[in-house]
Structure formats: structure tokens, C-alpha cells
Amino acid sequence: MSDVPAPPPSSSSLPRALLVIFAGVCGAVHVAKLPPAIHALQQQMGLSLVDAGFLLSMVQLAGMTTAIAMGAWADSLGGKCSMVLGLLVLAAASTAGGFAGSASMLLALRALEGFGFLLVVVPAPALVRQPPGRVSRMLGLWGSYMPLGTAIALLAGPLWIDHWGWRHWWWSAAALSAAMAVVLMLALPARPNDVPAQASAGLLARLHGTLSRGGPWLLAVAFATYSSQWLAVVGFLPTIYQQAGVESSARGVLTALAAAVNIIGNVGAGRLLHRGTAPVRLLSIGFVAMGLSAVVAFAGAEGAGAPPAVRYIAVLCFSMVGGLVPATLFALAMRLAPDERTISTTIGWMQQWSAFGQFAGPPVVAWVASHAGGWHWTWAATGTAALVGLGLAQRIGRLAR
């Protein structure tokens, strides 16, 4: 998909789009700030592994249940207002979380953070289209917000918690979001295509218009097949390396790197789309690479498969080339949304299915590993999702044409 020819971007439009992307990174830090703090929370609050599991998944509850409604609401509020409100919700919930005295309170605030996260991310793709002539490339950058935020949290979190504790880690994330809200408030003036939807195009009408079209459904389910694989593999890397005897300091770096290389795929997809590469080709390459890389990374019991270095290279390939998928799906959402006023609604539907994939993928992989007595059948679970994604990519390609 190539961009529509347009005049060069203004001197201010590109920095503003980058601010929107960084706001998404701030939201992703809140999602990923918990894993580095689990050990400290277990020590200070007596959390069980089940409690920790609920805390990990609770932030996805909002996405699984209300993302499309939040997207429709964001279409009504306007992108700038929605993002500022979401950042303030994240700041407030994280500040209160730093004072939490029980797991139940932290759990409730974690759910609230999920709603704030949605308000930040669902309108962002429509806003990063602002620099004329850079649509695909900016959407590629936007697709990297989650791996970048995850990598930052995985690298900075352990150091911060070791020095100042998990409560200060929560408050630092709150301060970051509050500062970003102020910056967006000052730097993002309302624009013609950021005007709230008029009353005649109400929330229910936008929901119906989005859910009655095949395009948003295909994009959303394809996003779920991607997110279920990515989080299952990257999310369990620390556990896999711990069982393999890798030192704790190395585990954090290896996992953060595996998350960060996903950015390369996202940015690369944006550039390739800008040059006219067909979206279906990028989606197909991404899903095939994820499927094959998982085979190399996991097939064969310990000592019978590929050497550890080769397995890790395969994990990096899995994440990096797989990054072609989310950026391409975001770009296609601009084309397959029913109209301009339902872009955030369509993105919300994609986020809802992405959250479902993140919620369902890791338990499925864990179930397979527990029954197989190891991680050597992980590729079968992730490969099935990759095959489904590949089939959906072909249907999306036909629809986009």
C-alpha cells in the first residue's frame, strides 16, 4: 500500500505525531511495569502465583470487554481529548497503586489502568496520519509502541525497584504519564479530522457500522493470532531461561532484546508499505516467519534440538519479522474502516481481539508445556495461530484489493 501523494509535511506535524507515538509508549510502560515487580510484591504483600497471574491479566480485562466501545467513545471525544484523558487516568491509577496496601486494591487499580491504556492507544493511529505523505511510515513507527514500552519496563524496572522499591516504580510511571498529558494538551491543537463525531453519528451507529463490515473482523482476528503468539513466546522467556539456568541479570537483557527487535519489523513494514509493497505480502512473510522460527526455537527436547544460540536467534527472528504484522494491520485499518469517523472504533475492535489473544495465548502454551513436560511442543500451539493468521492474510489481501 503506497501513500497518497501529498505536500511535504509541515515543520510541526512530524514532531506532533512523534509525541503521539511516545504517549503510546508511556501507556505500554504501564502494561509492562508489573513483571519486574512480581517478586517484590510477593515478598511485601504475600502474593501467590495465582494472584500474580491475575495482576498480569487484569490489565487486559478492559481490552477484552470494552475496547470497541472505548474506540467509539474516542471517536466521539476526539483523539486529543481521549489521549489526554487516558494518560491522566493512568497517572491517577498508578499513583493510587503506589499506596495500595492489599492485592485486591492493586487488582482493581490495575483494571482501571486498562481503561486508561485504551483511551490512549485507540485514537492514536488516526492522529499519527497527520504528516502528509508519511502515513505508512508513521503507522510503522506507531506499531512499535508496545515492544518499545515493554523493553523499557523490562530494562528499567528491575534497576528502579532494586534501588527505590516497587511503590516508587509505580509513582515514576504515574509522573511520566502526567507529564505526557500536559505535553499533549499543549502541543496537539484540535484539527479538522480530530473533531468529535457529531450527534447524528452516535456511538451505537458507529458500533453497528464497524461490526457489520467484514474488514474490521478480519483485521481484529488476525491481530489476535499475532498477539497470542508474541506474548506467549516473549512472556515466557524469563521462565524458560530460568529453568535453563541462565542468570537473572542475563534473563532480563535477553527478554528485553527479544521484545525490542520487534520494533525493527514495525518500522520496516511502514517503509515497505510506503514504497508500495502489498500488505498481504508483508502479513504472509510475518506469519510464516513466526511459525518457522518457533519450530527452530522450541522443537526438540533439551539437548536434542538446535543449540541454545541458534534457538535464541530464532526467537529474535520470530519477534523481529513478526513485527511486520501489527504495523501492516494498523495501516490496513485506515483503508478498511467503514469511514473516517469509525477509525478509532475499528482500532478499538482490533485492540479487543488483541487483548483476547494476549489473554488466551500464554495459558494455552503453558498448558501444552505442562502436559508435554517441557517447552518443546510450544511451536505446535504458536504454529497453529500462525497458520490461521496466514489464511486470514489471504482473505484480507483480497478484500483490500
Give the amino acid at 109: L
The per-residue pLDDT for 2 is: 40
| In a domain? residue 380 | yes
Q: What percent of the chain has pLDDT over 70?
A: 91
| In a domain? residue 180 | yes
CA distance 300 to 238: 19
Residue 152 has pLDDT above 80, yes or no: yes
C-alpha distances out from residue 261 to 252, 254, 290, 313, 349, Å: 14, 11, 13, 11, 26
**CA 380, 382, 388, 391 torsion: positive or negative?**
negative
Residue 161 has pLDDT above 60, yes or no: yes
Per the CB < 8 A criterion, the answer to whether 148 and 260 are in contact is yes
Per the CB < 8 A criterion, the answer to whether 77 and 85 are in contact is yes
Residue 288 C-alpha cell reads as: 510464516
Closest CA to 381 of 393, 368, 392, 391: 368
Residue 22 has pLDDT above 90, yes or no: yes
The C-alpha angle 219, 27, 385, rounded to 5 degrees, equals 35
| In a domain? residue 2 | no
The per-residue pLDDT for 302 is: 63
If pLDDT is split at 50, 70 and 90, which confidence band does 306 have? confident
For 373, residues 6+ apart whose C-beta sits below 8 A from its C-beta are none
Residue 137 has pLDDT above 90, yes or no: no
| In a domain? residue 295 | yes
Average pLDDT over residues 43-55: 77
The per-residue pLDDT for 130 is: 61
Number of neighbours of residue 284 by Cβ within 10 angstroms: 18
Number of neighbours of residue 159 by Cβ within 10 angstroms: 12
Q: 55 lies in which domain range?
A: 13-400
Q: What percent of the chain has pLDDT over 90?
A: 52
The per-residue pLDDT for 266 is: 94
Q: What is the CATH number of the domain that holds 236?
A: 1.20.1250.20
| In a domain? residue 4 | no
Residue 194 has pLDDT above 60, yes or no: no
| In a domain? residue 229 | yes
Dihedral through CA 94, CA 107, CA 118, CA 164, nearest 10? 30
| In a domain? residue 204 | yes
Closest CA to 393 of 269, 318, 293, 285: 285
Kindly report, residue by residue over 321-349, the tens digit of the pLDDT. Answer: 999 999 999 999 989 999 888 888 899 99
Q: Is the pTM of this model over 0.85?
A: no
Mean pLDDT of the chain: 87
| In a domain? residue 5 | no
Q: Which range among 48-62, 67-81, 283-297 shows the weakest confidence by mean pLDDT?
A: 48-62
Residue 234 has pLDDT above 90, yes or no: no
What is the domain count for the chain? Answer: 1
CA distance 392 to 152: 32
